[in-house]
């Protein structure tokens, strides 16, 4: 059984949002077309409390996109984004969400960021997604959404580590791209065992 995993298609990651991914909204029609063809659709939602430790504003003297050392390792600092209950945290209004069966919220612990749909950035704290997928007898994931170089990448790599077959739909993901991080993300995902696929191949 296969599932479509839609990562973080939220206002703050789309043009005009607090942490906008260039052209992030352009993938939405592709995702909507794909989601019609899947029996299981799962979404993730970045969902941070105010003052989250991944926000540059929580660290004096730090600017967005600088990095700091956290107890669990290196962490990029971000503009405040996807604050719980804010409009920026809402799914983009053009995203078709009615067929979604599960929403995995992540990043809700103040002290740990969480890029992946499976594990927080300490690579130990689970979101519970593996258990859900196993109980629903899902063995194959098709990953789409934002951002290629952060939440998509980590979800894909963790999904493979958890034993799932993972396809990444190349024209249904977009990245932030900090110093070549999108190309690097593709290399890491493919090295980990992900497969690249086009929406055209899936829809035909």
Instruction: Report which DSSP code applies to 56.
Output: G
Contact between 59 and 79 under an 8 Å Cβ cutoff? The reply is no
Is position 147 an interface residue for ligand VGL (rule: CB under 6 A)?
Answer: yes
List the x/- string, 30-49, binding to Zn ion by CB under 5 A: ----------------x---
The reply to whether 8 belongs to the active site is yes
Looking at 151, 153, 158, 174, which residue is catalytic?
151
62 belongs to the catalytic site: no
Residue 7 · residue 13 · CB < 8 Å: no
Distances (CA, A) of 134 to 83, 130, 192: 30, 6, 21
Residue whose C-alpha is closest to residue 51's, from 60, 43, 38, 42: 60
CA 104 to CA 143: how far, in whole Å? 14
Which of 151, 194 has the CB closer to ligand VGL?
A: 151
CB within 8 Å of 35: residues ≥ 6 apart = 4, 6, 41, 96, 99, 100
The single residue among 77, 112, 117, 151 that binds ligand VGL, judged by CB under 6 A, is: 151
Q: Are 140 and 165 in contact (CB under 8 A)?
A: yes
The residue number with the shortest CB distance to Zn ion is 46
105 vs 136, which CB is nearer to ligand VGL?
Answer: 105
Closer residue to Zn ion, CB minimum distance, 154 or 167:
154
* Residues 46-65 contacting Zn ion, CB under 5 A: 46
Binding mask 60-99 for ligand VGL (x = CB under 6 A): ------------------x---------------------
Burial (CB count within 10 angstroms: exposed 0-12, middle 13-18, buried 19+), residue 179: exposed
- The active-site residue out of 106, 149, 153, 174 is 106
- For residue 5, state whether it binds ligand VGL (rule: CB under 6 A): no
Active site (catalytic) residues: 8, 106, 151
Binding site for ligand VGL (CB under 6 A): 8, 13, 46, 78, 115, 146-147, 150-151
Binding site for Zn ion (CB under 5 A): 46, 107
């Amino acid at each position: 059984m296969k599932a479509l995993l839609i990562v973080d298609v939220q206002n703050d990651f789309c043009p005009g949002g607090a942490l906008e991914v260039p052209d992030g909204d352009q993938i939405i029609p592709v995702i909507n077309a794909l989601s019609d063809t899947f029996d299981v659709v799962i979404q993730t939602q970045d969902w941070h409390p105010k003052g989250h430790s991944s926000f540059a504003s929580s660290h004096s003297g730090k600017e967005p996109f600088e990095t700091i050392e956290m107890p669990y390792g290196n962490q990029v600092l971000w503009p405040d984004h996807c604050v719980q209950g804010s409009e920026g945290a809402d799914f983009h209004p053009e995203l078709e969400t009615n067929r979604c069966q599960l929403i995995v919220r992540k990043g809700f612990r103040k002290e740990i960021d969480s890029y992946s749909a499976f594990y927080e950035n300490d690579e130990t704290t689970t979101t519970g997604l593996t258990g859900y997928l196993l109980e629903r007898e899902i063995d194959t994931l098709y990953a789409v959404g934002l951002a290629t170089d952060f939440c998509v990448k980590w979800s894909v790599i963790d999904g493979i580590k958890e034993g799932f077959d993972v396809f990444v739909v190349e024209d249904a993901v977009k990245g932030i791209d900090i110093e070549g991080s999108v190309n690097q993300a593709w290399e890491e995902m493919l090295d980990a065992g992900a497969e690249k696929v086009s929406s055209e191949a899936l829809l035909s």
